[in-house]
Amino acid sequence: MRRRKASVILFEEIRREHEFGLGTIQGVARKFGVHRRLVREAIGQAVPTVKHAAARERPRLGPVIKFIDGILQADQEAPRKQRHTAHRIYTRICQERTDCVVAESTVRDYVRERRGELGLLAHETCIPQTYEWGGDGQIDWYEGDAFLGDERVTLQVFSLRSMSSAGSFHRAYYRATQQAFLEAHQLAFHYFGGVFHRIRYDNLKVAIKRMLQGHQREETEHFIAFRSHWRFESEFCNPAQGHEKGGIENEVGRFRREHWVPLPQAADLAELNAMLLAGCRADEGRTVAGRSRTVGEAMLIEQRDLLPLASEDFELAETSFPKTNGLGCVKVRTNLYSVPAVVGTTVEVRLWPARVDMWRNDRQIASHERHYGRNQEVLDLEHYLDTLERKPGALARSTPLEQWRKAGRWPRSYDALWEKLNTRLGRPQGTKEMIGLLQLGREHGWERLRVAVEKAWELGCHDRAAVQHLLETPDLARPRAPVIDIGTLRAFERPLPTMDVYDQLLAAGGGR
């Protein structure tokens, strides 16, 4: 017999059929394909009786229920971040209760059920909030993995969300330092076109020294100066109360799903941040549920109520004045960075969150990507070319060359041309020619040099002069002079003279 689920509609049909149709319990049961007990129940009442599922025995789980309950009870006294997960409980069962074989999914279901009974799954009731234009922004850090070159790197990502327009700004750094924290603020202010009146934070060490009573905090002097420069107010959440800045918490999850999945790939951190900025711009076209305007349209309205940008950014660079050592480097923190300056020269170094800039006589002479390791050498082969012209034998095993190879700045065509030069001129002279060829990269650009070397190789030309010619030929091209209309001067045109008669005279004289 086909079974049908008891429902109010089915009960109504049964009751009508019994009263106005067949009139017998057996006939109605046969017509609707149900048991006679259900027909009798429908005749007696219009609403089906709610039946609860009978408790099932748990033969696998039963022997470890007390073990699990004991763990969950003890967790109530443990710090929030040091409590057992369901997976950890399952692992302990496998290690400590080897006599019991139970599936992890069974343990997960029971742990979820017991936590609900113990009140450990209770969620705070959140009250919807309304924000005025330009009033509030929320800030947070989160981690994101990406491929930079061929290496997978875990980055710290700054995010700021407008609570009124829902616009957001995201920027990645190698480290969540105070300098990176403040720089990201400034870039976000420029992105939004103004400054929020109030900004809410977690209790970040880069902003506060220590927590006081209630919402009071002793903030760092550098953060206070930065806040004074941009004229906004700061607010801090209670510890472990992420719901107090739920806007940015939700934004982080949304942005990570949209723009960090799959893992982004970029040549370096600068290219990745350009991708993140493009993602922020693209999100301006989305519409938040319950709103009629797009995020971008709301940001334009909000911009009128933001605090105006300061006339200049807050100075964030850490400045030092080291001297160039015998390796052609200056020491910044614990790392060495190459610089094109003679030994003993004092160089002005400006340290930023992502780069290190070197200045001399108000002119920038070098720039490197900042490294956060210790006792590292960050070298640029270009800075050693003048020295290598005097010491060409040092090129082959030089560390700057090796770093260029790893960074992808030394293409295979360079090695092929270098080998040809060595074969034709001998290793010392061939290396000198190669160094001279590299000097052309300074003048014409490294990408143009690479293209010229590959073109020369295709043409079968394996010397520096051919590459230099290919580099300079586009610059030697000159436009053709325009044709000038001589106008009325055409009236004075005369035919070119002919020498036929004179030739005849000469021929006649030669005959005599």
Each residue of 306-333: pLDDT tens digit? 999 999 999 888 889 999 999 999 999 8
Q: 225 lies in a domain?
A: yes
Same domain assignment for residues 419 and 352: no
* Confidence band, pLDDT 50/70/90 cuts, at residue 242: low
Same domain assignment for residues 368 and 397: no
Name the domain boundary from 348, 378, 408: 378
Same domain assignment for residues 110 and 192: no
Q: 66: domain range? A: 62-118
Asked if residues 36 and 26 have their Cβ atoms less than 8 Å apart, the reply is yes
Report the pLDDT value the prediction gives residue 3, as an integer from 0 to 100.
Answer: 45
- 511: pLDDT strictly greater than 60: no
* Confidence band, pLDDT 50/70/90 cuts, at residue 260: very high
- Residue 430: partners with Cβ closer than 8 Å, 6 or more residues away: 418, 420, 421, 422, 423, 424
Q: What are phi and psi of 162, to 5 degrees?
A: -80, 130
Same domain assignment for residues 36 and 79: no
Helix, strand, coil shares, percent, the chain, to 5: 45, 15, 40
Q: Which amino acid is at 229?
A: H
Domain count, the chain: 5
Q: 127 lies in a domain?
A: no
Report the pLDDT value the prediction gives residue 301, as an integer from 0 to 100.
Answer: 95
- 130: pLDDT strictly greater than 90: no
**Between 122 and 468, where is the model more confident?**
468
Same domain assignment for residues 194 and 105: no
Same domain assignment for residues 277 and 350: no
Name the domain boundary from 329, 345, 378: 378
Same domain assignment for residues 33 and 90: no
Same domain assignment for residues 141 and 187: yes
Report the pLDDT value the prediction gives residue 211, as an integer from 0 to 100.
Answer: 47
Number of H-type helices and E-type strands within the chain: 18, 15
- 205: pLDDT strictly greater than 90: no
Q: 312 lies in a domain?
A: no
Q: Which of 57-61, 146-150, 410-414 has the lowest mean pLDDT?
A: 57-61
Same domain assignment for residues 282 and 143: yes
Same domain assignment for residues 359 and 448: no
Q: 354 lies in a domain?
A: yes
Q: 364 lies in a domain?
A: yes
Same domain assignment for residues 374 and 390: no
Same domain assignment for residues 74 and 33: no
Q: Which segments of 347-398 does DSSP mark as H helices, in order?
A: 385-390
- Residue 303: partners with Cβ closer than 8 Å, 6 or more residues away: 134, 192, 193, 194
